Each structure stands twice: as C-alpha cells, then as structure tokens.
Amino acid sequence: TQLLEQSPQFLSIQEGENLTVYCNSSSVFSSLQWYRQEPGEGPVLLVTVVTGGEVKKLKRLTFQFGDARKDSSLHITAAQPGDTGLYLCAGPPSAGNMLTFGGGTRLMVKP
Amino acid sequence: NAGVMQNPRHLVRRRGQEARLRCSPMKGHSHVYWYRQLPEEGLKFMVYLQKENIIDESGMPKERFSAEFPKEGPSILRIQQVVRGDSAAYFCASSLGTGGNNEQFFGPGTRLTVL
C-alpha cells in the first residue's frame, strides 16, 4: 500500500506569516495533486505536479515535487485568513486509477 | 461548464433504511470515483466506475454497499441497511481519462447521518 503522510497535521498562524506543508511517501508517485477543502465542501484541486523537481506557483502558493517523486511541499507566503482550510495531497498508486490521500493539514490563519 | 454534481447534499436515515447517493460527472467525463470521508479522517477510495462497468471496487465493503454508473443518468452509490458507522461524507469525483496524470474533480459531497 502506498501511503502519503502529511505534516504538520494542524497549523495555526498569524496573518502575514509564511508556512510550509509537507507530503511524504516511501513510494514513488507518477504525479501528486494538492487539494484544498473547506468545511462542508468537496476538495478543490489546486495543482498537479508531474516531473521530479518541478516547481509550480499559484499566486502566493508554491508547490514542489521532490526529485525522486516521493515527496512534495506546499509553501504559502504571507498567509491570509482566506487561506484557512484543510490542505490535502493525493496521488495515484502504481496500480490503479484511484487517488491515495494524505491525512491532511488543517491550517488556520488568524487576522 | 458545470462541475461534478451530487445530491442530496444532506441525507438522514434511520438504522436499517437504505441510502441512495447520486453523482453526475463533469460534462465529457466518463470516469467516476467514490470516496468516503469519516469525521476527522482523510478521504478513502471506495469504487471506480466507467459507463456500465465497475472497474475497481477494492475499497468498497463487500456487504450492503453497491455502485452503478448506467449508460444514461447519474452514478449511484447505494447503501442498504445502514448502520451508525456509515455516517460520513461521501464524495464523488470524475476524470476525463485514466493514467497517473489524470486529474480528478470532486463534487460537494453528500453528508449521510444515520440515526
């Protein structure tokens, strides 16, 4: 079973601070996706990283895929209260088309 | 272009009743996935379907749970004789194709409460 572990599980910071969320596995993934989920809603796809070492930027969010394609990180610069939510990483296992999800990081940004 | 649609958004059932959850994929998507999210837990894969076919049901309990994606109409996840442990949020996702790079888009979910 290919597992994805996210850290930290919970993060509470002040508006304007920077933060990094990690997604790690002992297995290689062909791609990793990052989602953001708000209470009562479904996960919303933020980005897909495919190539080892790839870096993608989405406004204040920077996503990186590890060289060995076993890990990924999400860095948020100057966090805002609107960034509050559950951040999930997910990837397709070697066999199958479904997604394996990490446990998520609950981020709270206080004004 | 409408996203993935699920209904109902909230469903309350008593123990022993049946629950039917519906999912309409994004336009043009023929691959549907069902996931379950228990309170304070991550999403867990249940079943993957294409039109009229179950491709992978390895994450779905063998008893009381079934899924279909008919030629016409939405995909349906059916839970018979519900128990309290079935209370969870059930999410449907769809994708355009398959393969490691194929992105899945999620619906808003159905929150099932079993009394």
3-class state of residue A82 by DSSP: helix
The residue of chain B with its CA nearest to that of A47 is B103
Residue of A43, A60, A44, A47 lying closest to B89 (CA atoms): A43
Q: What is the mean pLDDT of chain B?
A: 92
CB contact under 8 A, B45 and A97: no
Q: A11: how many CB neighbours lie within 10 A of its CB? A: 18
Per residue in B53-112, pLDDT (tens digit) is: 999 999 999 999 999 999 999 999 999 999 999 999 999 999 987 765 578 999 999 999
| Cβ neighbourhood burial of A74 (10 Å; 0-12, 13-18, 19+) | buried
A-B Cβ pairs (cutoff 8 Å, strict) = 69
Can you tell me the distance from the alpha carbon of A103 to that of B42, in angstroms, rounded to the nearest whole number?
A: 5
CB contact under 8 A, B104 and A33: yes
Q: Which residues of B touch A30 (CB under 8 A)?
A: 100-101
Say yes or no to pLDDT of A1 above 70. Answer: no
pLDDT for residue B2: 73
Per residue in A9-48, pLDDT (tens digit) is: 999 999 999 999 999 999 999 899 999 999 889 999 999 9
Can you tell me the distance from the alpha carbon of B29 to that of B103, in angstroms, rounded to the nearest whole number?
A: 11
pLDDT for residue B102: 74
Query: What is chain A's length?
Result: 111
pLDDT for residue B101: 54
A66 to chain B nearest CA, in Å?
16
Can you tell me the distance from the alpha carbon of A107 to that of A26, in angstroms, rounded to the nearest whole number?
A: 25
